[in-house]
Amino acid sequence: MKLDIIAGARPNFMKIAPIIEALEKVSDKIQYRLIHTGQHYDKKMSGNFFEQLGIPEPDVNLEVGSGTQAEQTGRIMERYEALLLKESCNWMLCVGDVTSTMACSIAAKKLNIGVIHVEGGIRSNDITMPEEINRMVTDSITDIFYTTSEVANENLRKLGHDESKIRYVGNTMIDTLLKNMPRFIKPEAWDENQLSEKAYFVMTLHRPANVDQEAQLKKLIDEIAKGSKGMPIIFPVHPRTAKMLKGIGIEAENLHMIEPLGYLEFNYLVQHSFAMITDSGGITEETTVMKVPCMTLRDNTERPETITIGTNELVGTNPDNVAPYMEKLHKGDWKAGEIPYLWDGNTAERIVKDLLSL
Ligand code: UD1
């Protein structure tokens, strides 16, 4: 079996790491090729994750770089197709919902290569998100779905996908989290900001709905700073958000903006924090497993189990919603949360066992 594995942007890297590790053990049966599309290319957004998670150097880097949605999609499709025409494979495995996921799926499927989607079936039902379009397109041409939740399975059934294509295996992002927990590294920001256990917030924001309009971004951050009651807020800033923040002028003594962190440093901070504030999807899965309270600044989520089972609450993007949730946190009135079924650290092993049967 010849298998291509696609990785393009930061949230892909922690999802592929355990799959590659498990594949190494069956290298006599499955020959894999790791393709980095180059959607994320900075050391801070890409290289550090490869190093820290022990992911081997990609066999190929398509080096597509930044661009609009269509520019990136077009470049990835063109370059991946050219590669496949030179040297093909039988199966292509992609993860998550980034532009690279969709673009490689289309290029592969049009050459009659089988498409495997890890984390298939999740839906926010918010078509204004580029990720939702990526999920819908990818799933519509996927042959094998490896899913993370019963809600995802149900979504796929409703779309008419045959039961035999849907394989509930758990969450590879959690494999990486559980494996690396003993290796988490205290970042410099800890001493620099005199942090102490469970006495600071961690915040990340990068969704267009929150960061692409100055007024919205400023109001959100102001409300969060107000609601924090002076507790430090550590804010590793995504490049997209950094561009917007330059013009705004936010002043809050306890808000500490820092560069994007490595995987081991970021999760150390999250694990020891009082609470997380984010508009990410993947982070809500990690906080669920680490039992850290999480406020999600989005109006919807493709990961409802982090709310119904985990420690997450959907606060919304309206800055006026922030205060009551922060009050709840300060009162210690947050749910404890449970861990979803099969988020147990062994998902990649299950995937590779199944791949052997294809
Ligand atoms: C992408 C994903 C999103 C994911 C996020 C995590 C899509 C549609 N979105 O969004 O799902 O949560 O990654 O980070 O695929 N940039 C750099 N250095 C880099 C990469 C990007 O400075 O290494 C800059 C780009 O020039 C651009 C901005 O960051 O201005 C956004 O990058 P892009 O990959 O287009 O989308 P993200 O917002 O990162």
The residue type of 182 is: P
Q: Which of 235, 237, 232 shows the shortest CA–CA distance to 195?
A: 232
Nearest residue by C-alpha to atom 18 in ligand 1: 42
User: Residue 256 catalytic?
Assistant: no
Residue 201 pairs in a beta bridge with 233, 275
Q: Which of 140, 301, 331 shows the shortest CA–CA distance to 227?
A: 331
Nearest residue by C-alpha to atom 9 in ligand 1: 98
CA distance 6 to 77: 12
Whether 175 is in the pocket of ligand 1, judged by its Cβ within 6 Å, is: no
The predicted model gives 250-262 an average pLDDT of 92
Query: From the CA of 303, how far away is ligand 1's center (Å)?
Result: 20
- Closest atom of ligand 1 to CA, residue 98: 15
Q: Where residue 249 falls among pLDDT bands split at 50, 70, 90?
A: confident
The residue type of 14 is: M
Query: From the CA of 200, how far away is ligand 1's center (Å)?
Result: 27
30-80 tens-digit pLDDT = 999 999 999 999 999 999 999 999 999 999 999 999 999 999 999 999 999
The predicted model gives 197-222 an average pLDDT of 94
**pLDDT surpassing 90 at residue 247:** no
**pLDDT surpassing 90 at residue 22:** yes
Backbone φ and ψ of 11, nearest 5°: -70, -5
- CB 105, CB 77: distance < 8 Å: no
**pLDDT surpassing 90 at residue 1:** yes
Please give the C-alpha separations between residue 311 and each of 154, 170, 180, 285, 336, in angstroms, as whole numbers: 22, 18, 21, 9, 6
CA distance 150 to 205: 28
- Closest atom of ligand 1 to CA, residue 134: 8
Whether 11 is in the pocket of ligand 1, judged by its Cβ within 6 Å, is: yes
CA distance 229 to 182: 31
Query: From the CA of 40, how far away is ligand 1's center (Å)?
Result: 6
Is the model more confident about 212 or about 183? 183
- Closest atom of ligand 1 to CA, residue 96: 11
Query: From the CA of 168, how far away is ligand 1's center (Å)?
Result: 29
- CB 287, CB 310: distance < 8 Å: yes
Catalytic residue among 36, 117, 161, 206: 206
The predicted model gives 229-251 an average pLDDT of 90
Whether 66 is in the pocket of ligand 1, judged by its Cβ within 6 Å, is: yes
Q: Is 229 helix (H, G, I), strand (E, B) or coil?
A: coil
H/E element, 93: strand 91-95
For 335-358, letters b (16+ CB in 10 Å) and e give eebebbebbebbbbbbbbeebeee
Q: Where residue 289 falls among pLDDT bands split at 50, 70, 90?
A: very high
Whether 44 is in the pocket of ligand 1, judged by its Cβ within 6 Å, is: no
Please report the pLDDT score of residue 83 as a whole number.
98
Give alpha helix (H) positions in 199-271. Answer: 208-211, 214-227, 239-248, 263-271
Q: What is the pTM of this model?
A: 0.96
Six-digit token string for 232:
């430090």
CA distance 98 to 7: 9
